Amino acid sequence: MALEFVIEQADAATAARCGRLSTRHGDIATPVFCPVGTQASVKALGPDDLASAGVEMVLCNTYHLFLRPGPELIAGLGGLHRFMGWSRPILTDSGGFQVYSLNELATVREEGVIFASHLDGSRHLMTPERCIAVQEALGADIIMAFDECLRYPASYEATRQSMELTGKWARRCRAATTRQDQALFGIVQGGMFHDLRTASAKQIVALEFDGYAVGGLAVGETKAQLFDLLAHSLSFLPIGKPRYLMGVGTPEDIIRAVACGVDMFDCVMPTRNARNGWLFTSAGKLIIKHACYRDDARPPDETCACYTCRNFSRAYLRHLFMASELLAPRLLSIHNVYYYQQLMAMIREAIRSGGFAALLAGAMAASS
């Protein structure tokens, strides 16, 4: 079996739960946050940095690895785990979002998507079958069905057609799989329309995937819409299968999504914000370039046990950032990734101990 999911504890007042995902590359405690390693690398960090921060699974991107260096090369060198020196689980997304977001001239047909490479303009056809073949060559533990991503806002009719196409592609992805050691997740779409999300969820669940993702959210809608549509989508998904919210997000949003019943997250926010000098701390955000930190001898977060906080001052980190030293994004990213892993550990412990309601109340207050 490619994936086993066990719910170990459920919160009494919400839909939050903690558990364990078992894959061929190890177990993962859930809820889990996956740092994004778009091109087989979490920017500025090595596998040792990730392991030291407590990371259990990373996400890599099918679109980017398909274009460069190519799935055949990665497969020939032993697969993605060996290629990037990461022995823990890996999730690959389908590349659908990048096909649409990076290519204004992408042409969507029932067969698949014809798109121009953002690297050299070369033309490619990505079909559901090819999407699965690429992900099987990469060798990730969890792979995603090919879906259509719509820009926000989109009309009801455009969203309906897209949702139906995603359902057809999901069926073709299911039929195209050949490996028994990879888990395949289906993706619920349906935009901002409850009835379309209902129809999409029912279509995808009927195909009996190993897990389910909710896509098409956090694309510009309000937070109220996001959590309303998320809860609605999740209500149609099997309780005993892992649920993955794609591309979210802030610490407060993660806590609120866990309360809805989400088990898996990914987002570029920890590392992207770090490269821009924005640190997440127990006292709130810290913008390291601010002049008030020029001679500040304190660590970024006095409650944090990460490598950066144990060894370096705000003054030193500000100096590195202002001087554009390469060490700055590494040290700041180490802290932010560690912060997110500690956040997930705190969420899991709150669910186990009965303290999740208080944690949720704090997140709601912070995001209001």
Spatial distance between the Cα atoms of 196 and 255, rounded to a whole number of angstroms:
26
Per-residue tokens: 338:
């560690």
Tell which wins on pLDDT, 1 or 367.
367
- In three-state secondary structure terms, 92 is strand
Question: In the chain, what are the domains?
Answer: 4-265 (3.20.20.105)
Res 149: pLDDT: 86
Mean pLDDT, the chain, as a whole number?
Answer: 96
Under 8 Å CB-to-CB from 89, ≥6 apart: which residues? 21, 23, 25, 26, 28, 56, 57, 141, 142
Q: What is the pLDDT of residues 205-252, one digit of tens each?
A: 999 999 999 999 999 999 999 999 999 999 999 999 999 999 999 999
Per-residue tokens: 321:
């950032």
User: pTM higher than 0.75, yes or no?
Assistant: yes
Q: What is the pLDDT of residues 100-131, one digit of tens each?
A: 777 777 899 999 999 999 899 999 999 999 99
Task: Work out the angle at residue 160's Cα, subtended by the Cα atoms of residues 264 and 203, and round it to the nearest 5 degrees.
Answer: 55
Q: Which residues participate in catalysis according to the annotation? A: 93, 266
**% of residues, the chain, pLDDT over 70:** 100
Question: Which residues are paired to 91 by β-bridges?
Answer: 59, 142
Question: Which residues are paired to 285 by β-bridges?
Answer: 280
Res 171: pLDDT: 98
